[in-house]
C-alpha cells in the first residue's frame, strides 16, 4: 500500500544556513501524525515545502506514491494539500463565506456572484464541522479559533487530502482546543491525512497516532504514539552535547540589579516576578509566543504593562519610557536587528552613537567629529568588519550587524543589558564570539537578561534559567538544575499549580 | 593578539561626497539657469518694472521660512501639507484682530499662537490617535483654508501702518538684502542646528530611518513628532503675519499652494520623502532653485499656471530621480557584497 505523503532526505538551505539537512516524513491516510522538534528544528520549513511555499533543494517528495514538485502554493492546493497556520490570514473585510470561496465564487446564470449558493455551501461546511458561524459576518474580529475553522472549512471545500496544522492550538483556549481536536478526529475518520505540529505534549499524546521528531533540520525518529513516552520524545528533540560550544567564564555574582515584581499585561503575561544580579546571566527560555520578548520589552519600557513594578539598582523604572530606563542604566538588544536594532540605511557611526546621543553631546551640541571617537572605539572593541564608519549597516554581514547593535548598547555602559535572541541568523563563528562577549560582559559585573529560543545557547550561557509558558514563569532553574529535559518540561507542561486544579 | 585598527571615517572620497550631493547639483543648476537667462532673456538683469535681486528674495522668503520646520517633519517620514492654509488663517486672523482694534504686536502674537494650536491638533491626530499625517493635514488644509476665507469673507484688510509695512519690505541699508532675509537666516540657523547638531535632530533622522529602532534607542517618537507639528504651525503662522505686512494685505487666500512649493523645494534638495536622509541646506537650496526658475519665467512673462505645471513636474521628477538613485545604489550594494 502506498502512503499518502512521503518525504525522504529533503534538504533546503537559505543562503549559508541549512534549514533542512535530510528531513523524512511518511503520512498515511486516516492518520493524525505529530511533527515535533525544538524551535528552529526545521518543522516550519518542511511544512512550507509541502505547502508549495518553498521549493526543496534535494530529496524525494511523493504524493499518493507519485513524485510531485510543487511550483506554488496554488499548485499544492490543487494537489489537495491544505495548511492551517497558527495565525490564519483571512481577508478581514470579506465575509466568512467570501473568505471560503475567495477566487472561486459560484456564479449565477447571469454572471453575478451567487451569494445564496455561497451562503448555503458555507453553512453546510460549518455544520459538518459541528460549529456555528454566521456566513455573512465579516472576518474582522473573529476569534483565532473561528478563523482556523474557516480555514479548515475552506480546505474541506477544496477536497484537501492532506491537512497540515502548524501549531494551531498555540493561541486557543481549552474549549477551543477540544473543538479543534474533535474536528481533527472527524477529518481523520473521513480518511484525510493530518500533520499536527504542537509543542504541547498532552495534546500530541491525546490526539495523534504517530509522532516524528526533528532536530537541527534532520529526521530523528518516527514512532507509534503508544510506543513512546514524553521523556523519550524530549530526549530525541534535544539530544546533543552542549557544554563545549559555549565557553562560559565564571563571574562573581553580586547584588540585585534588576528587580521585577508582579508584572502583568492582560492576555500577554501575568504576575511575572524575578531578579537579575550583577554578573549574572539570566535566560528567559520558553517556546516562541510564550511571552518572553513581551516581558523583556515591558521591562525596558518599549511596551506597556498594567501593573507591577520594575526596579533597577534600587530606583523605580517608569513605565513605558525607554529613555528613562536607559538613563537608569538599562540597555536592550532587540530581537529583530534589521527593524528594531539598526537604522539599515545609516552608517555604522550613526548606529553606534544613536543610543548615546545625549552623552556624546557637548553643551547640547553634537557633531560627527564628536561621534567618531566612541563609534571607532566600540567598533574596534567588537571587531566590526566594515569599510568605513559611514558604511551603511545594510552592507554588513548579519554577524557584523549584530556586533554593531551590541556596540551601540555596550557604548551606553549599561548596568543591565537585555539581549533578545543574541545570535539569531548569524554564522557559527560570530555566534561563539557573541557568546564570549556576553560572558565577558557579565564578568565585568553587568547583569544580563538574555532571551533565546536555542536551548543549547540557554543552557550554555545561563547562570539561571527562567522558563516562561503562556505568559507565566513556570520554572526557575539554577545552572546545575537546568537541563534540556527540565527546561523543555517546564516550557511545555502546565505549571504545578495548574495541574493541582 | 588583535590588530589595532582605526576605521576610515568615510567610504567614498571627499570630492564624490561633496560634488555628487543634491545640494551641489542644485547650486550648479541655479548658476546654469542664471547664466542662460542672462544670455537668453533680454532685460533679465534690468527687467521692467524693477524685478530686482531684492524682489527675488522677497518672493522666495515665505517659502524659504515655511520649509524649515517642514524639512524636519519630512525627515521623520511624516508630512504637513496644511502649512499654506495655516499661513492663510494667520493672515486673516491677524487682519481681523487688527481691524477690531487689537494692537498690532498682540494681533501678531495671537495669530502665531493660533497657528501653533492647529499644529498641535495635527500633532495630536498623528501621534496620539495614530492617523497618517498625509490624511490629517490634507483635511486640515481644506478645513483651515475654509475658516481663513470664511472669517474675512471677500474683504481684505489693508489698513496696516505704512511705517511697519514699508519697514518689512525694506532692505538692510546699503545692501540689496531685505530684512526678511535676516529673519529667515536666524530661523535657518536655529532649525539647522536643531536638525544636524543636537540629540533631538539625531532622533528626528532615526525616526525617519526606522521608527522602531528609534523607539528602542530611547527616542520619544510621538513627542518628537508632536513638537515638530507645533513648530510647523507656529512658523507657518509667523510667515502669515510677515507676508500680510509685506504686501499690506490680510486675506484668507494668502499662501494658497505654498505647501506644494515648499515640499517640492525640500524633495528637490535631496531630503527623502520617506524620511531619514537629507539636509536643511539642501532644502533651502531647493527653495532658491524654485525661486530662480520662477524669476526667469516671470521675466519671460509666463503665467502662474505654467509655474504650477513646472513645480509639479519638478516634484515628480525629483522623487523619480531619488528612487532610481536608490535602486541603483541597492544594486551596487548587492553586487559588492556578493564579492
- Is residue B135 within 8 A of residue B79, CB to CB? The reply is no
Cell for B116? Answer: 501653533
Distance CA B78, CA B25 (A): 25
The ipTM value here is: 0.89
User: What pLDDT, on the 0 to 100 scale, is given for residue B5?
Assistant: 55
Domain ranges within chain B, ordered by starting residue: 21-324
Chain-chain contact of B7 with A388 (C-beta, under 8 angstroms): yes
- Which of A347, A357, A433 is the best mutation test for B, with the most CBs of B within 10 A? A357
Residues of B in contact with A418 (CB under 8 A): none
Strands (E), B164-317: none
- For the beta carbon of residue B121, count every other beta carbon within 10 angstroms: 17
- Which of B3, B207, B215, B217 is the best mutation test for A, with the most CBs of A within 10 A? B217
Residue A322 Cα, gap to closest chain B Cα (Å)? 5
Could you tell me whether strands A5-14 and A58-63 are parallel, antiparallel, or unpaired per DSSP bridges? antiparallel
The residue to which cell 563609534 is assigned? A375
User: What pLDDT, on the 0 to 100 scale, is given for residue B339?
Assistant: 32
pLDDT of A31 strictly over 70: yes
CATH topology of domain B21-324: ABC transporter involved in vitamin B12 uptake, BtuC (1.10.3470)
Chain-chain contact of B216 with A302 (C-beta, under 8 angstroms): yes
Strand partners, A62: A6, A67
User: What pLDDT, on the 0 to 100 scale, is given for residue B301?
Assistant: 81
The percentage of chain A sitting over the pLDDT mark of 90, rounded to a whole number, equals 54
Could you tell me whether strands A58-63 and A66-67 are parallel, antiparallel, or unpaired per DSSP bridges? antiparallel
- Is residue A167 within 8 A of residue A198, CB to CB? The reply is yes
- Is residue A29 within 8 A of residue A191, CB to CB? The reply is yes
Q: What is the pLDDT of residues A38-81, one digit of tens each?
A: 767 888 889 999 999 888 998 999 999 899 989 888 899 889 99
Q: What is the pLDDT of residues A77-98, one digit of tens each?
A: 889 999 988 777 889 889 999 9
Element (H, E) at A85: none
Chain-chain contact of A342 with B213 (C-beta, under 8 angstroms): yes
Using beta carbons and an 8 Å cutoff, which residues of B are at the interface with A? 2, 4-11, 193, 197-199, 201-203, 205-206, 209-210, 212-220, 276-277, 333, 336-337
- Which of A338, A344, A348, A354 is the best mutation test for B, with the most CBs of B within 10 A? A354
Residue A403 Cα, gap to closest chain B Cα (Å)? 15
Q: What are phi and psi of A6, to 5 degrees?
A: -135, 130
User: What pLDDT, on the 0 to 100 scale, is given for residue A457?
Assistant: 86
pLDDT of A500 strictly over 70: no
User: What pLDDT, on the 0 to 100 scale, is given for residue A38?
Assistant: 76
- For the beta carbon of residue B329, count every other beta carbon within 10 angstroms: 12
- Is residue A489 within 8 A of residue A287, CB to CB? The reply is no
Residues of B in contact with A334 (CB under 8 A): 216
Residue of A nearest to B213 (CA): A340
- Is residue A492 within 8 A of residue A300, CB to CB? The reply is no
The residue to which cell 543589558 is assigned? A417
Name which of A332, A354, A387 is nearest B202 (Cβ-Cβ): A354
- Is residue B132 within 8 A of residue B239, CB to CB? The reply is no
Confidence band of A456 (pLDDT split at 50, 70, 90):
confident
Name which of A326, A334, A346 is nearest B218 (Cβ-Cβ): A326
Confidence band of B330 (pLDDT split at 50, 70, 90):
low
- Is residue A297 within 8 A of residue A260, CB to CB? The reply is no
Name which of B202, B215, B276 is nearest A322 (Cβ-Cβ): B215
Residue of A nearest to B192 (CA): A365
Distance CA B267, CA B283 (A): 7
Confidence band of B337 (pLDDT split at 50, 70, 90):
very low
Task: Identify the CA nearest to B85 among candidates B280, B260, B266, B225.
Answer: B260
Amino acid at each position: 500500500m502506498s502512503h499518502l505523503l512521503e518525504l525522504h532526505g529533503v534538504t533546503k538551505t537559505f543562503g549559508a544556513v541549512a534549514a533542512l539537512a535530510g528531513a523524512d516524513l511518511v503520512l498515511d491516510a486516516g492518520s493524525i501524525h505529530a511533527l515535533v522538534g525544538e524551535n528552529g528544528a526545521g518543522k516550519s520549513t518542511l511544512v512550507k515545502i509541502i505547502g508549495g511555499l518553498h521549493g526543496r533543494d534535494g530529496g524525494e517528495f511523493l504524493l499518493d506514491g507519485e513524485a510531485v514538485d510543487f511550483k506554488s502554493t496554488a499548485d499544492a492546493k490543487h494537489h489537495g494539500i491544505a495548511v492551517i497556520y497558527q495565525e490564519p490570514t483571512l481577508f478581514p473585510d470579506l465575509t466568512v463565506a467570501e473568505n471560503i470561496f475567495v477566487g472561486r465564487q459560484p456564479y449565477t446564470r447571469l454572471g453575478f456572484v451567487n451569494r445564496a449558493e455561497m451562503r448555503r455551501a458555507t453553512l453546510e461546511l460549518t455544520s459538518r464541522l459541528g460549529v456555528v458561524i454566521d456566513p455573512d459576518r465579516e472576518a474582522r474580529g473573529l476569534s483565532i479559533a473561528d478563523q482556523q475553522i474557516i480555514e479548515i472549512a475552506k480546505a474541506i471545500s477544496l477536497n484537501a487530502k492532506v491537512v497540515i496544522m502548524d501549531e494551531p492550538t498555540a493561541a486557543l483556549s481549552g474549549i477551543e482546543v477540544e473543538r479543534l481536536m474533535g474536528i481533527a478526529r472527524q477529518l481523520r475518520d473521513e480518511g484525510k491525512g493530518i500533520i499536527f505540529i504542537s509543542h504541547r505534549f498532552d495534546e500530541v499524546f491525546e490526539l495523534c497516532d504517530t509522532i516524528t521528531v526533528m532536530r537541527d533540520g534532520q529526521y530523528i525518529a518516527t514512532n507509534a504514539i503508544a510506543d513512546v513516552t514524553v521523556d523519550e520524545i524530549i530526549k530525541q528533540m534535544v539530544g546533543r552535547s552542549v557544554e563545549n560550544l559555549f565557553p562560559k567564564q565564571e563571574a562573581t555574582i553580586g547584588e540585585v540589579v534588576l528587580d521585577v515584581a508582579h508584572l502583568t499585561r492582560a492576555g500577554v503575561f501575568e504576575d511575572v516576578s524575578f531578579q537579575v544580579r550583577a554578573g549574572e546571566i539570566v535566560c528567559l527560555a520558553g517556546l516562541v509566543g510564550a511571552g518572553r520578548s513581551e516581558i523583556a520589552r515591558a521591562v525596558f519600557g518599549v511596551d506597556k504593562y498594567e501593573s507591577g513594578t520594575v526596579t533597577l539598582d534600587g530606583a523605580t523604572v517608569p513605565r513605558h519610557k525607554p529613555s528613562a530606563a536607559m538613563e537608569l542604566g538599562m540597555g536592550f538588544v532587540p530581537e529583530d536587528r534589521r527593524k528594531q536594532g539598526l537604522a539599515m540605511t545609516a552608517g555604522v557611526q550613526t548606529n553606534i552613537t544613536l543610543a548615546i546621543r545625549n552623552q556624546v553631546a557637548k553643551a547640547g551640541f553634537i557633531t560627527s567629529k564628536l561621534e567618531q571617537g566612541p563609534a571607532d572605539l566600540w567598533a574596534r572593541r567588537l571587531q566590526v568588519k566594515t569599510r568605513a564608519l559611514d558604511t551603511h549597516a545594510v552592507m554588513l554581514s548579519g554577524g557584523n550587524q549584530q556586533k554593531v547593535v551590541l556596540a551601540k548598547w555596550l557604548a551606553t555602559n549599561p548596568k543591565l543589558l537585555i539581549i533578545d535572541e543574541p545570535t539569531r541568523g548569524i554564522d557559527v563563528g560570530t555566534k561563539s564570539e557573541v557568546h564570549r562577549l556576553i560572558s565577558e560582559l557579565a564578568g565585568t559585573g553587568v547583569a544580563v537578561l538574555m532571551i533565546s529560543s536555542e536551548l543549547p545557547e540557554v543552557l550554555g550561557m545561563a547562570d539561571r534559567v527562567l522558563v516562561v509558558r503562556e505568559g507565566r514563569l513556570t520554572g526557575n532553574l539554577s545552572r546545575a538544575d537546568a537541563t534540556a529535559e527540565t527546561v523543555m518540561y517546564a516550557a511545555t507542561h502546565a505549571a504545578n499549580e495548574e495541574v493541582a486544579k | 593578539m588583535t590588530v589595532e585598527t582605526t576605521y576610515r571615517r568615510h567610504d567614498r572620497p571627499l570630492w564624490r561626497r561633496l560634488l555628487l550631493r543634491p545640494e551641489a547639483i542644485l547650486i550648479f543648476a541655479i548658476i546654469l539657469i542664471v547664466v542662460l537667462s542672462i544670455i537668453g532673456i533680454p532685460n533679465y538683469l534690468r527687467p521692467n518694472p524693477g524685478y530686482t535681486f531684492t524682489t527675488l528674495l522677497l518672493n522666495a522668503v515665505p517659502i524659504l521660512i515655511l520649509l524649515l520646520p517642514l524639512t524636519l517633519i519630512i525627515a521623520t517620514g511624516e508630512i504637513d501639507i496644511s502649512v499654506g492654509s495655516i499661513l492663510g488663517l494667520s493672515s486673516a486672523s491677524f487682519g481681523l484682530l487688527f481691524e477690531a482694534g487689537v494692537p498690532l504686536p498682540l494681533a501678531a502674537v495671537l495669530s502665531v499662537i493660533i497657528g501653533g494650536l492647529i499644529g498641535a491638533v495635527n500633532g495630536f491626530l498623528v501621534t496620539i490617535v495614530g492617523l497618517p499625517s498625509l490624511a490629517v493635514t490634507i483635511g486640515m488644509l481644506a478645513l483651515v483654508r475654509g475658516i481663513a476665507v470664511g472669517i474675512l469673507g471677500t474683504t481684505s484688510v489693508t489698513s496696516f501702518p505704512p511705517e511697519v509695512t514699508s519697514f518689512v519690505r525694506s532692505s538692510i541699508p546699503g545692501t540689496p538684502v531685505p530684512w526678511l532675509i535676516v529673519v529667515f537666516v536666524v530661523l535657518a540657523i536655529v532649525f539647522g542646528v536643531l536638525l544636524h547638531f543636537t540629540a533631538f535632530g539625531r532622533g528626528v533622522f532615526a525616526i525617519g530611518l526606522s521608527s522602531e529602532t528609534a523607539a528602542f534607542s530611547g527616542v520619544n517618537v510621538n513627542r518628537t513628532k508632536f513638537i515638530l507639528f507645533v513648530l510647523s504651525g507656529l512658523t507657518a503662522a509667523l510667515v502669515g503675519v510677515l507676508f500680510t505686512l509685506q504686501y499690506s494685505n490680510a486675506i484668507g487666500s494668502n499662501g494658497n499652494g505654498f505647501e506644494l512649493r515648499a515640499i517640492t523645494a525640500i524633495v528637490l534638495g535631496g531630503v527623502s520623502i520617506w524620511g531619514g536622509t537629507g539636509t536643511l541646506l539642501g532644502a533651502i537650496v531647493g527653495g532658491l532653485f524654485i525661486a530662480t526658475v520662477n524669476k526667469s519665467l516671470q521675466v519671460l512673462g509666463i503665467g502662474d499656471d505654467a509655474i504650477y505645471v513646472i513645480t509639479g513636474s519638478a516634484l515628480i521628477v525629483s522623487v523619480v530621480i531619488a528612487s532610481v538613485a536608490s535602486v541603483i545604489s541597492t544594486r551596487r550594494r548587492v553586487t559588492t557584497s556578493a564579492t
